[in-house]
Amino acid sequence: MAVVSPGPDFALITRNSLLYSRKAGIYSAFGLGLGILIHVTYCIIGVGLIISKSLLLFNLIKYIGAGYLIYIGYLSLTDKYHKLGNQKNKHSDKKTDPDKFIRMGFITNVTNPKATLFFLSLFTVVIQQNTPVLVKYFYGIIMSLITFFWFTFVSIILSHKIIKEKIAKFQFIFEKIMGFILILLALKILII
């Protein structure tokens, strides 16, 4: 349920799937899944406990994440209008850079305080201290795969030709709304 709940990850996938392409959304979903593995790893090795006890470190993660969301939101707000499906537009599939979108998804997830809090609570409350490390990693890999598959599904739905055609009529407004939502999410993160 944590994966399905709206947040920065969902906003990013929505933006990239509609503004760029299905591939961009799927690459972003892959980056989100990789980010999950980072949360799992720091919880397993005990850094999660340090983060939960250090207000400075937690706030640093929070500020970096909020800053990044503001940056992506700013890009959406200031981007010039490019009609969806126009092959000459700078957002066309031919120019989809996998590294860019994987990195975007990864940074969005790793710096998401909601994800940090979720994994800290999961590894301190639900998973026992005597749970074998391999079992903990297995849980982490499952959560990473669930994240990837869920957001890939969302990307496929949002990038479907019919959906894109419907949204293309309102694309300019939609881009601005997504930018605004990303900035609002960043502000919400800052007041957590």
Average pLDDT, the chain: 81
Locus of tokens 């490390």:
133
Instruction: Give the residue among 153, 110, 151 at the shortest CA–CA distance from 3.
Output: 151
Whether residue 133 is contained in a domain is answered as yes
Number of domains in the chain: 1
Amino acid in the structure at residue 104:
M
CA distances from 184 to 21, 126, 151 (A): 24, 31, 21
Residue 89 is classified by DSSP as S
User: Cα–Cα distance between 42 and 57 in angstroms, integer?
Assistant: 13
For the stretch 19-59, pLDDT in tens is 889 999 999 999 999 999 998 888 887 766 677 677 887 78
Domain that holds residue 119: 8-190
In a domain? residue 1: no
